[in-house]
């Protein structure tokens, strides 16, 4: 991987979230950016983050408060920025269902503000984090992220004479992150019963560090307009329960509103534009309007017509022992380090 961030100015939206903390740690450890802006709306989380990643030890760091909903603020903070990693989102499915306008304002209108500001400020590369729920969405969160994906992939052609390039990374559930089923199962273990929605349910799983590395790899290979999807393992929810709480009785409670039995990251309709690389799939931009974007993603082999990539037709699977080993390697990823880095 080339040193994409050495002597570059980077801005990370949603910089104090799960991904933001892991991304910051990785960048400060492995690169020497000219400027690294942590952009988020929570002053307390920024204060806590500054106790760990201080500006005294890392002069490149800058903490800026703001909201992606505010177009004027985005125009100001993106001045002089080379690379944007867009991780800000409202992502709790139940919360989005009962607060739809809030999810739309952040996930769709916020995406549009990032795009417009990046073009006007002549940012070189922008990559946005998406979710498996954006493919064939059945809940509002997924629908807003699908809209966001479409905005970012289409942005390459309406950027005019500007050379800003946009791409998307789409991946599944992050092992042990906030909102993940794993911390929930750990809490339920003490109560002597694990509620699961359906014993046939499957999900994709990825670690925070794997997600960070995949974003970096995608930034290196992007040409503009692509959606990058990593090849990651699946697991049944029943096996997750067995790993976290072996021997504890399981209660089937039924699928909740807005929930899928299996997650999908590439639909059959996307197959005609999808190529396979060694470590990932790439949904290339449709060429009828993408005159400026080559979208070749370093080649790749086209998938069969009608191909779909879902958590139940995966070729890679995690068993309970595999998950426990993975959790041992990721322990503490969601917590702040004990000392300043």
Q: Which of 8, 25, 125, 133 is catalytic?
A: 133
Residues 6+ apart with CB under 8 A from 337: 25, 52
Judge whether 338 counts as a catalytic residue: no
In three-state secondary structure terms, 194 is strand
Burial (Cβ within 10 Å: 0-12, 13-18, ≥19) of residue 153: buried
Which is it for the CA torsion 252, 133, 210, 35, positive or negative?
Answer: negative
Cα 292 to Cα 167: distance, rounded to the nearest angstrom: 13
Cα 173 to Cα 74: distance, rounded to the nearest angstrom: 28
Query: Within the chain, where are the H helices?
Result: 18-30, 43-52, 71-77, 93-98, 100-104, 110-120, 140-154, 181-189, 208-221, 237-244, 320-330
In three-state secondary structure terms, 294 is coil
Q: How far is CA 166 from the centre of its chain?
A: 15
Cα 215 to Cα 206: distance, rounded to the nearest angstrom: 12
Decide: 122 and 82 in contact? Cβ < 8 Å: no
Q: Which residues are catalytic?
A: 133
């Amino acid at each position: 991987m080339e040193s994409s961030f050495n002597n570059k100015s980077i801005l990370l939206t949603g910089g104090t979230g799960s991904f933001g903390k892991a991304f910051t740690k990785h960048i400060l450890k492995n690169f020497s950016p000219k400027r690294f802006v942590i952009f988020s709306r929570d002053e307390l989380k920024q204060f806590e983050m500054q106790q760990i990643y201080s500006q005294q030890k890392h002069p490149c760091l800058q903490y800026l408060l703001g909201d992606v909903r505010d177009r004027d603020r985005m125009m100001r903070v993106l001045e002089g920025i080379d690379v944007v990693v867009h991780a800000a989102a409202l992502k709790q499915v139940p919360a989005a269902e009962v607060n739809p306008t809030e999810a739309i304002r952040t996930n769709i209108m916020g995406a549009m503000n990032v795009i417009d500001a990046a073009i006007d400020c002549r940012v070189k590369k922008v990559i946005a984090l998406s979710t498996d729920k954006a493919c064939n969405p059945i809940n509002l969160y997924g629908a807003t992220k699908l809209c966001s994906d479409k905005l970012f992939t289409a942005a390459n052609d309406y950027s005019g004479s500007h050379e800003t390039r946009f791409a998307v990374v789409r991946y599944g559930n992050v092992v042990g992150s906030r909102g993940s089923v794993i911390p929930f199962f750990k809490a339920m273990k003490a109560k002597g019963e694990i509620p699961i929605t359906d014993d046939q349910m499957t999900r994709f799983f990825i670690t925070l560090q794997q997600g960070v590395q995949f974003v970096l790899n995608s930034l290196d290979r992007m040409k503009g307009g692509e959606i990058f999807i990593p090849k990651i393992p699946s697991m049944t929810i029943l096996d997750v329960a067995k790993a976290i709480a072996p021997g504890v009785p399981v209660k089937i409670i039924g699928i909740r509103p807005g929930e899928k039995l299996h997650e999908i990251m590439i639909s059959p309709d996307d197959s005609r534009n999808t190529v396979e690389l060694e470590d990932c799939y790439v949904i290339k931009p449709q060429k009828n309007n993408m005159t400026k974007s080559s979208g070749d993603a370093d080649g790749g082999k086209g998938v069969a017509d009608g191909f779909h990539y879902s958590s139940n037709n995966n070729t890679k699977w995690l068993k309970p022992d595999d998950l426990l080993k993975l959790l041992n390697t990721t322990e503490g990823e969601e917590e702040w380090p004990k000392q300043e880095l």
